[in-house]
Structure 1
């Protein structure tokens, strides 16, 4: 069961028969971020009815609970004797509210008069990977009781990391033998410890743990994960050299076919190496590495190399001396915020196993 610690604070409205004070919102289901929606009114948890409810109100609830965006909602006529016979309806939100209490005041109805409301949130927003400059690698943090906290490495293994990557839609996890990265200790709460997954779960909330806030850890034991969909770009000599990208657990080359001024400019800007550069072709520094990208043609409105059209990953028409080499117009003034996975010791063969970082 997931409930929000945010106060809902609905005041009496002129045309409303109910005021909501010191209210919590929760989803009562088997998994976190889904279930029957209830609000706490007058010291009693009360169901929210389907009448007049929409995706807009659902999105506010998912945001309030730290569960990302809404997947769907539906009604059910089931009832439970331990709940009050009073239910709630009439919430109207614009969609930008931080919590349901910022929406219009509700009305009460008898629970038997209509269907109760069930919501499923995507849940992506309830876990995150931070510290890498991307969404698919970093220190694992989970959202609980209104704040983000870390996960301890006790009992953590490859199967747990796979579930995290699956939940974040970031592919599979990569083994720590492949990617020697450290995202640093977190701060605040350590929310989970002794997490144990079978490996086939779609969400971390389906895995067992010692319970919220129960641990014997400190932050130097915070878990980090790198998923196969994490991508990085670098030039082999800082602000000049072969263009190399990290994908699916290994560094590879980028071919120069169809690369133009806009593409060169975007790469230099992403690496904090100026706004322009010179392009040439050369032999690869990474001799046995895959040619990950070819025919990359960035457009003026693209904000990242990963938004630019290209052939699919690993598909190329690249000869041995056609690896892109760029010399950017300026040297770095400070370390690029994305330069986290730039060790030359990575294996160059393509892999798709698992990663856990402690």
Structure 2
């Protein structure tokens, strides 16, 4: 029993010394250092010359490539106890030496290379062309076998929800990238912490940048104007949580409309923000309400409320005609064209029916006039003569009534 007792005492001594451990964030390639037990919220000061080499060893030990970025601050205490000359194994720092001094630094967050991912070319950080960082360079992902499961790993890695749709094969959704193609023929299960953990082709990728993979995640934040005559006029719609909603027009004003126009690059001065004809209706999605101060330049910097009944009571949808629109005449007349797909379909059908009616009327009039002309020609023309007529007289004929005389009959004789 004594050997077991000594082992337990040794383990307790190690725990009391409190060597730091690596606390992993979502994805497994982002981490911070913490102290065990009740001291988990305490800082872990490191000597300034040992912080960067230690971060590199930890990222490589996690199988996450090299260090992409390290956030560091100074310790809160002026004379802190700094850890140095530590070894790393199994998510723990071991055999650390300690000194008291002022030349210390604290790693608040470290991001390894395999966790570094960005979406480029979209309206928001949660939509765009997929780019990964490796060996100091950003590169793209080939769209061979790229699907929603692969894209879902990327969205989760960025904290952008789930994948709504994927892009690729030069469909024009996002511009082609530059640099190397880092991954090809991904085959993720959807449970991986980052794209580097997914099975992929081992040979050198043979894709060009016309096949760069892209994704639109559910947390993409975007705005658009719909139902107008161009992209700079219409009903304001906001994309959040995978769907498009509208903005309540309670407290909607020129200041908010100016922010929207600027975000859409449609000029900073709105031409019209209210009293549209017909009134704008909500689309059945989320009802958004924004409170912006004079310093905000984006709706995403403003206070945001979703589906608050008391804020959106008796409201209509907000709309704007921006200064960069081509519908200035409509704005001056106070007319706004709000055309839903159903309305456009109905108008198209009506126009086709009207066109068929006009064509039918023209053809009917044409055939009636032609029939009348032929009938007139028939009545006014000479009668055709028959070559076998027995009454082809050339002169005047006096008709004399001839009556046959009845001869008297004699007895016994017949005429």
Whether 1:322 and 2:312 are equivalent positions in the alignment is no
**Structure 1 segment 29-48 matched on structure 2, within 5 A:** none
Identify the match of residue 258 of structure 2 among 257, 261, 265: 265
Distance 1:265 1:122, change over 3 A: farther
For 2:28 and 2:288, how far apart are their aligned partners in 1?
Answer: 40
2:215 is matched with: 225
SS in 2 for 1:310: strand
1:167 is matched with: 157
Contact 1:124–1:168 under 8 Å retained in 2: no
Task: Please report how far the alpha carbon of residue 175 of structure 1 lies from its aligned counterpart in structure 2 after TM superposition.
Answer: 2.8
Distance 1:147 1:241, change over 3 A: same
CA displacement, residues 204-241 of structure 1 (integer Å, 9 cap, x when unaligned): 23222224x72232222211011111111122222222
Whether 1:198 and 2:189 are equivalent positions in the alignment is yes
2:138 is matched with: 148
TM-score (ref. length: structure 1): 0.58
Distance 1:241 1:51, change over 3 A: closer
For 2:287 and 2:216, how far apart are their aligned partners in 1?
Answer: 18
Structure whose alpha-carbon radius of gyration is higher: 2
Identify the match of residue 269 of structure 2 among 272, 276, 280: 276
**Structure 1 segment 87-98 matched on structure 2, within 5 A:** none
Contact 1:68–1:124 under 8 Å retained in 2: no
Structure 2: 5+ residue runs without aligned partners?
Answer: 1-26, 34-44, 60-64, 74-82, 91-96, 327-339, 342-415
Task: Please report how far the alpha carbon of residue 142 of structure 1 lies from its aligned counterpart in structure 2 after TM superposition.
Answer: 0.8
CA displacement, residues 125-150 of structure 1 (integer Å, 9 cap, x when unaligned): 72111111321111111111221111
For 2:47 and 2:181, how far apart are their aligned partners in 1?
Answer: 39
> Larger relative contact order (C-alpha < 8 A, sep ≥ 6)?
1
Indicate the structure with greater helix content.
Answer: 2
**Structure 1 segment 1-358 matched on structure 2, within 5 A:** 51-53=46-48, 67-70=68-71, 77=87, 120-121=110-111, 126-176=116-166, 182-211=173-202, 214-236=204-226, 237=228, 238-277=231-270, 278-280=272-274, 288-294=283-289, 296-312=290-306, 314-316=307-309, 317-318=311-312, 322-331=316-325
Distance 1:65 1:176, change over 3 A: closer
Task: Please report how far the alpha carbon of residue 281 of structure 1 lies from its aligned counterpart in structure 2 after TM superposition.
Answer: 5.6
Q: How many residue pairs were aligned?
A: 259
Structure 1: 5+ residue runs without aligned partners?
Answer: 1-29, 37-49, 81-86, 96-116, 333-343, 346-358
Task: Please report how far the alpha carbon of residue 169 of structure 1 lies from its aligned counterpart in structure 2 after TM superposition.
Answer: 1.1
TM-score (ref. length: structure 2): 0.51
Contact 1:71–1:121 under 8 Å retained in 2: no
Superposed CA RMSD in Å reads 4.6
For 1:59 and 1:273, how far apart are their aligned partners in 2?
Answer: 50
Distance 1:189 1:218, change over 3 A: same
CA displacement, residues 97-139 of structure 1 (integer Å, 9 cap, x when unaligned): xxxxxxxxxxxxxxxxxxxx9x842769721111113211111
